[in-house]
Every structure is written in structure tokens, then in C-alpha cells.
Amino acid sequence: ARAFVSSADRMANDIKKLKSSEFIRKIGDSIFSKVPIPRIHPDVVSAISLGLSVAFLFSANAVYQIVILFLVVLADMLDGNIAKRYRYRATPEDEHRGWMIDVTIDRLSEGFIALAMFMPLFPIFILNTALTIVSTKKKIHVILPVRQVLLVYLILKTVLQ
């Protein structure tokens, strides 16, 4: 068991993130540090995000799509902040398991959204899934902010019409 702990500890500590990801994360952390956050398990928040992504499939109205996608992005930002604040990821094994659940649900979420907006999003979804696999193997967090970019696109498209 000790070898597993030290291995998981190294994995959790070795995951490096891109500087742009760290910059975005710091902004989110500074915002959420000032806001009261409910004490709910981060995996529940991730599941809510996934459910909202399924709802995105059935929303034809652009305003509904924007609201749903905003909530998906918000839930994705919240789950990590909740885990840190309430120490749901107290051990390295918990942190690694939580990270794996988070990235898996994030890719599933992107998959449902890609189904709703097949072209041009599907090839980017495939690329992001491949980057997730590479990230897991290389321990470098290299993932494109697909849902965030799509949110900005939908807002601009709706405003400019």
C-alpha cells in the first residue's frame, strides 16, 4: 500500500499545467474564494454538468444554449474549487481519482455538446480527447477550453445577428 501511495503522490504532484491554464485557474480561484460555495461533493457537481450537457442536445433556442453552456462551464469550474475548499481530495489517491473523474466527465460533456453542434466541433472534440489521453500518460495538463470557446462563439453569434 505504501508503494501505491508514493506512486499516486508523485502522479498528483507531477501533473503540470500550461501557463495559460494556470492563469485562467487563478482568475477562477480568486473569484470563487470570495463567494460562498455549498458543501456538496465535487463529483455531484460534475454529474450536474454532464446532465446539463445532455440538456444542451435538446435545446434549439440560442439563448437556452448560452444559458446551459454557461452553467456547464460554471459547474466545471466549481467542482475543483469545492474539492480544494472542503478537502474532498485529501490524499494523493483521492486527488488522482477526482482528476480522472473530472476529465472523463469533461470529455463526455464535450461529446454531448459536439453531437448537438456536429460540425465544426466534432473534430475538435476528437483532438481534445486525444490530448486528454496524452495528458494522462505524460502528466501534463494540455486540454483545449472547447466549451468556453463555444460559449463565447454562441454569445457573439447571437449578439451580432
Whole-structure pTM value: 0.77
Q: Within its chain, how far is the Cα of 58 from the centroid?
A: 21
User: pLDDT tens digits, the chain, 161 residues: what are they?
Assistant: 444 444 444 444 444 555 556 666 677 777 777 788 878 888 899 999 999 999 999 998 999 999 999 999 999 888 888 887 777 666 778 777 888 888 889 999 999 998 888 767 788 888 888 988 888 777 776 778 888 888 998 999 999 98
Task: Count the neighbouring beta carbons within 10 Å of the beta carbon of residue 123.
Answer: 11
The grid cell for 51 is: 446532465
3-state SS, one letter per residue, for 65-124: HHHHHHHHHHHHHHHHHHHHHCCCCCCHHHHHHHHHHHHHHHHHHHHHHHHHCHHHHHHH
The grid cell for 108 is: 463526455
Supply φ then ψ for residue 140, to 5 degrees: -125, 125
